[in-house]
Amino acid sequence: MELSSSTAIIAFSAVCAVVIPLILIIWPVLNSYLSIRGRRVRQLINKIPGPPFLPVLGNVFEFLGSRERIVEVRNNHFASYSDIFKIWICHYPLVKPVGPECVEAILHSSRNTEKSLFYKLLHPWLGTGLLTSTGDKWFTHRKLLTPAFHFKILEEFIPLFLEKSLSLVDKLRIEAASGKSFDVVPIISMCTLDLICESAMGVKLNPKDKSQQEYVAAIYTLGDIVYYRSMRPWLFSDFMFSFTKKSKQQEKALKVLHEFTESAIREKKNLYLLRKNNDNENSRDFDESDSEEQLKIRKKRKVKAFLDLLIELSVEKKVLTDREIREEVDTFMFEGHDTTSMAICWILFTLANNPDVQEKAWKEVKEFWEYRTKMEKEDRSYQSNIFTDMPYLERCIKESLRLYPSVPVISRKLSEDLQMGGYLIPADTIIHIHVSNIHRNPSIYSNPDSFDPDRFLPEAVNTRHPYAYIPFSAGPRNCIGQRFAMLEVKAVVSAILFNFHLVAMDRPEDIVIVADLVLRSKNGIKMKFIPRNGN
């Protein structure tokens, strides 16, 4: 009996659904074994030490367990090698530097600056913004955006940081009223998201606004999906990924994220053009929910959101399209929200677990905040001193970022062959730089798991290899927003420390780190906040 045309089409589609994915998986594997280039890559990579691996599959099974198991495997690997090692994920070789000289070889390079294929998983959301772009576009945008993070520009954000810090203190005071411990991650995360929304887009988050609630939820959805794909090499292919339920979730989340950002861009651009036409560039739109005091503060400080600066570049210099503006704003949102919130949480955690250090830091921040109460809120002469004041707190922050760096992994793809640790690494190899493991290298840091802010005294820093500490990466592609982040963290942590005594509920040995885009604890970070007398 002959098949109907519709049945034949269904049958053909079913065969394609099986055969095409198999080709996509098998062909690169065969190429890595049979082609001249593939054989050269395997020959060079297999000279590098590393754990035992299976033919074709490599070490993939070691990384298919739970998120905490993945971290455990990674830690065991780093404990076994002193300078450099390699693993295979199917046919993909991953080279992992351990020693700072090997780290420097890749991060200091001005030629091997391309991000690895893992970052392509972010392209649907971030496009080719500063984090994910390469070549001329990256160089041009980096040069354009660097002035936006100049010291004088960042000074304008100090009142905003302090304002949001005090709002957070009020919320923590409500949470602490019960006298019970609680997980600090959600409340800190909402604070930094609110702050980054206002500084990046000039948008004040309203918990009652449905579109903003959806935007917040979409950010977390996209982060989970990107991590999910990164642990499954067969889903690197957009074609393969399109058959999964996660693909539909991603489409929905992307629609929410892009519509929110594009709406903010349209609104700000129209406002900019209106101001320009009216020759009234000093005017500013205000949120109707602002109090009279807040309006006075905003009028006085004239702070420009990151988006305002991008629109100015677009209109006046014709160098950015609306799509490129969206890519850079989305990138700033992605890099500046979750990473900063987790940094603050880990800093509070380390201070809570080291009461003597906490007390010393508190005495220092007490002077700054008590002086602040005597001054007008917009007195730049004292506010700008937050950059240089509180040096002990800054050392505490740096030591916490050593133990718990917000971004645990940096990944690059070699554009050309590279010498590293006495080995020749062939072009196209992926280099994974595990920051958290590099920061705990016992050959660099004595008692690496202990918390000691004095590691960042000038005399200690000067004797250490500069690439032994890389919380914001290093070299040509270091984090453009690291000053912004440090200023925000310093403002928030100092406000909390001035108002509360922190009591740890979790100990470092009890914390279970899970593999993710940022460094997270499996069960959150719980502590008590005890109000200090008079605050």
pLDDT at 495 over 70: yes
Q: How confident is residue 301, by pLDDT bands cut at 50, 70 and 90?
A: very low
> CA 411, CA 94: separation in Å to the nearest integer?
10
| Beta strands 430-434 and 92-97, pairing class | parallel
Please compute the mean of the pLDDT values over residues 231-252 and round it to a whole number: 89
> CA 202, CA 477: separation in Å to the nearest integer?
27
Who contacts 316 (Cβ-Cβ below 8 Å, separation ≥6)? Answer: none
Cα separations in angstroms, 187 against 174, 192, 439:
11, 9, 28
pTM for the structure as a whole: 0.87
DSSP 8-state symbol, 422: T
- Per-residue pLDDT tens digits for 94-146: 999 999 999 999 999 988 989 988 889 999 999 999 999 988 899 999 998 88
Domains and CATH numbers, the chain: 35-531 (1.10.630.10)
Who contacts 51 (Cβ-Cβ below 8 Å, separation ≥6)? Answer: 59, 62, 77, 80, 85, 87
Please compute the mean of the pLDDT values over residues 527-532 and round it to a whole number: 94
Please compute the mean of the pLDDT values over residues 147-166 and round it to a whole number: 85
Lowest mean pLDDT among 145-149, 253-257, 401-405, 484-488: 145-149
> CA 70, CA 62: separation in Å to the nearest integer?
7
> CA 162, CA 237: separation in Å to the nearest integer?
44
Please compute the mean of the pLDDT values over residues 420-441 and round it to a whole number: 95
> CA 285, CA 222: separation in Å to the nearest integer?
31
Three-state SS string over 159-227 comes to: HHHHHHHHHHHHHHHHHHCCCCCEECHHHHHHHHHHHHHHHHHCCCCCCCCHHHHHHHHHHHHHHHHHH
Q: Which two tokens stand for residue 11?
A: 């049958």
How would you label 390-406 residue by residue, b for 16+ Cβ within 10 Å and e otherwise?
bebbbbbbbbbbbbbbb
Please compute the mean of the pLDDT values over residues 145-158 and round it to a whole number: 83
- Per-residue pLDDT tens digits for 471-480: 999 999 999 9
Q: Which two tokens stand for residue 171?
A: 């919320």
Distance between start and end Cα atoms, the chain? 86
- 3-class SS of residue 92: strand
Please compute the mean of the pLDDT values over residues 302-324 and round it to a whole number: 85
Give the pLDDT of residue 297: 44
pLDDT at 379 over 60: no
- Per-residue pLDDT tens digits for 189-216: 989 988 988 888 888 877 777 877 788 7
Task: Tell me the one-letter amino acid at 523.
Answer: N
Provide DSSP, 491-534.
HHHHHHHHHEEEEESS-GGG--EE-SSS-EETT--EEEEEEPTT
- Per-residue pLDDT tens digits for 310-320: 998 888 888 88
> CA 504, CA 521: separation in Å to the nearest integer?
14
Residue 388: phi and psi, rounded to 5, are -110, -25
Provide DSSP, 306-325.
HHHHHHHHHHHH----HHHH
Average pLDDT, the chain: 85
Q: Which two tokens stand for residue 477?
A: 């592609």
Q: Count CB atoms within 10 A of the CB of residue 375.
A: 11
